[in-house]
Structures are given as C-alpha cells and as structure tokens.
Amino acid sequence: MRSPRQRRALSALLDGPKTREQLDRIAGASNSPDVIRSIRRRLGMTLPCELERIRDRDGRSVERGVYSLTAEDATKARHLLEGGTS
C-alpha cells in the first residue's frame, strides 16, 4: 500500500465505522469516497457503506455514508498496515 491516505483511512476504520466527513478529515482528502474506491479496487476489500438518515443544518432529512470494515477487510487491513503485501 503506497498511499498515505489509504493507510490513514484503513487505520481509522480499524477503530470502528466512520462517516464520509470523518474520513475526509482523517485521510486528509476532500473526496474520501475516491480513497475508499481505490482501496476496494487495488486492495480487493469490500468496505461496506451504510446510509444513515440524519438532519442537516437546515433541518432537512438527508442520508450520509458510514464506512466500515468486514471481518475479512479488518484482517487484511491489519496485515497491510504491519507491512504485508496485498
């Protein structure tokens, strides 16, 4: 894994589910869904995204994405973060 953004995102997801906005800040990206897409494609992970209904600052009901790791994703992420190869 060459991308520091991917590394930061996976490390954060090992601690638990994260919203898209949280991953933007943690990974240092303004488009964390693109970071997630590249992890899925290049590293073969699932990284499910659940839609969560919330109220925005204007009181409107909207959905936001919450990303997480499957058990298999978590095993692979730990391996990669410890210096393993995909």
Q: Give the chain's domain count.
A: 1
Tens digits of residue pLDDT in 45-80: 999 999 999 999 999 999 999 999 999 999 999 999
Torsion angle (degrees, nearest 10) of CA 78, 79, 85, 86: -70
pLDDT value for 85: 75
| pTM score, whole prediction | 0.90
Residue 74 near residue 39 (C-beta atoms within 8 A): no
Query: What's the CATH code of the domain at 16?
Result: 1.10.10.10
Is residue 42 domain-resident?
yes
pLDDT at residue 81 tops 70: yes
pLDDT at residue 1 tops 80: no
Is residue 38 domain-resident?
yes
Is residue 86 domain-resident?
no
Is residue 45 domain-resident?
yes
Q: What domain range is 53 assigned to?
A: 4-81
